[in-house]
Structure 1
Amino acid sequence: MAKLLSFLLFLLSIGLHTKGSAQDIDTLIDVGGYKLHFKVVEGRGTPILFESGAGNDGSVWKDLLKPLDDSLGAPLITYDREGFGKSGIDTAGLSVINEVKGLEAGLRKLGYGKGCFVVAHSLGGAYAMVFSSRNEDRVQGGVFIDNVSPCFMTAEKAHEVRMFFSDSLESIKRQSLGFYFIARNYEYTSRVMREAAPAWDAPLTVICSDDTPFEGADSIRWKRCMQEFARVRPNRKYIFAKGCSHYVFDDNPGLVIKAIVDQYRAVDHVL
């Protein structure tokens, strides 16, 4: 647990993943009381929507966009969740469900209110599962990278994580309102994720890291639960990213790009 806290605070303090790349659209969209920051590489076909993990904004995906654009030519949509990057925040109504509602509103305004393919990292997997539960006919496939799984993030574990952050909340709040609310709402977010998880029935590739965000027995359980999550349905594929940290796309971008391209093309007949 100490490993997880120190790493997330490190991310918040230095603003990891700031390298730039060309974008076709860079805009703030009013989604009702606050604005979400979207970047879109325009293309043809079903868009790929990226969900970042806790502590990150949409820039975490920058290095993947050009290779994916070159390979697929599909619209690529990244965004900053509430309180991260250039996005605003609704401190009174912030919850995982309201955040997903804001995302849905932003996508509609951008003209991407129909089908999509989802790529999610870490806690972003929870948001992706909630999004899928509300939009079952829209999500045609996806890739989850070291996602928080229902098997791992039980009610007991979510409580342990929230309590672990409790003494650091004021420090976190000064650095990032977005992460402050993630930590404060962690048990609720995890419960909603567990309830939403069964709704994901689209083809999915699940990538598990070797060096997980947890240590010891929790690291072993994280890996086991990732495997179990991949085995829930026959249309899920499991990839173990040997030698990679939680940020698999930094350590082995080629593996992640190939997984996205292969899974996208595998469901291309329905996209």
Structure 2
Amino acid sequence: MISNNGHRLAFHVTPGHLPAIVLDSGGGEDSSYWNDLVPQLSKATGSKIITYDRAGLGDSDAVKGPWNVHGAVSDLRAGLRRLGVTRDVILVSHSQAGEVATYFVREHPRWVSGAVLVDANLPPFYTDAQIARIVAVYTPQIKELKKQPSTRRNRQLIATATNFGPVHHAYHQVSWPKSVPAIVIVSGKTPFEDSPQDAQHWRDAAAAFTKAGPERTLITAEGTSHDIAKDEPELVLDQIEQMVSTRR
């Protein structure tokens, strides 16, 4: 348990050598999302494996108010500093964790050797028009969610929706440092299985991100849902191994 800004966060560490692999899950998910992959990664790479629960999820304390990506970056930074892992880090980030990764590598490019972005939220996706579409679709769903029994996952999703527009207008302007290599895995179905227009924009954003800098590779996981790590764990494992091998 690591303290930061008045709350405690749960970090889980599998011993190993550098580069260290830090697995960060998507919105509403805690570190258990990666449970099946951790032992395979440890065996395949010998790397130190770190998972953690972002504030309000798993065994970590909740933080009041809207979700704040800069607070999440601060939490990850505090945890890695406490663990003595401030170089040769490979970030593996799913969905919402892509936002944490983007801001983190901008602040600490020398800490991070590379990243594997697993159907991650990427800045090119969040155009003004796309944000407006998302807010219109999810506003009634969030209203219904507020009527349901309060759970950690529900509270996290509500917190994310509270300030969605301004947060993502700002995120759209952010760029990934050219010095940090990235493998981008985009799902065939994407988070928008019922909206071909939004799904195509998601894939286009992944392609635009990949083309915007050196040492970026785009992998399309055909036929998978947003949960690529659950649908095709071997694909994710292979790409992490690939990133580890290039950083040694």
TM-score, normalised to structure 1, is: 0.82
C-alpha distance in 1, partners of 2:47/2:82? 18
For 1:144, which of 92, 113, 117 is the aligned residue?
117
Q: Which of 224, 241, 257 lines up with 2:237 in the alignment?
A: 257
Matches of 2:182 and 2:73 in 1, distance apart? 20
Partner of 1:195: 173
Residue 5 of structure 2 aligns to a residue in which SS? coil
CA RMSD between the two structures: 1.9
2:48 is the alignment partner of 1:68 = no
For the 8 Å contact 1:140–1:267, the answer to whether it is kept is yes
Contact residue 105 and residue 176 of structure 2 kept, 8 A: no
Quote the offset at 1:56 in angstroms. 0.9
Q: Which stretch shows the higher mean deviation, 230-239 or 198-207? A: 198-207
1:38 aligns with 2:18: no
SS of structure 2 residue aligned to 1:206: strand
CA 1:189–1:61: 2 relative to 1, 3 Å: farther
Partner of 1:222: 202
What is the percent sequence identity of the aligned residues? 30
Quick check: 1:149–1:226 contact (8 Å CA) kept in 2?
yes
For the pair 1:213 / 2:188, whether they are aligned, the reply is no
Alignment of 1:97-112 (within 5 A): 97-112=70-85
Structure 2 unaligned residues grouped into runs of 5+: none
2:151 counterpart of 1:178: no
Q: Residues 132-175 of structure 1: CA distance to partner in whole angstroms, max 9, x if unpaired?
A: 11111111101011112222222332243234333344554523
* Aligned mates of 2:177, 2:214 — CA distance in 1: 15
2:167, 2:20 → 1: CA distance?
A: 26
Residue 133 (structure 1) aligned to one of 89, 103, 106 = 106
Letter in 2 for 1:222: W
Cα separation, partners in 2 of 1:172 and 1:107, compared to 1, 3 Å? farther
Is the contact between residue 45 and residue 74 of structure 1 (CA under 8 Å) also seen in structure 2?
yes
SS, match of residue 184 in structure 2: strand
What is the CA–CA distance in structure 2 between the aligned matches of 1:199 and 1:31, rounded to whole Å? 26
Aligned length: 241
1:258–1:188 Cα change, 3 Å: same
The 2-side partners of 1:41 and 1:133 are apart by: 26
- Aligned counterpart, 1:10: none
**3-state SS of paired residue (2:78):** helix
How high is the TM-score relative to the length of structure 2? 0.90
Regions of 4+ moved over 6 Å: none
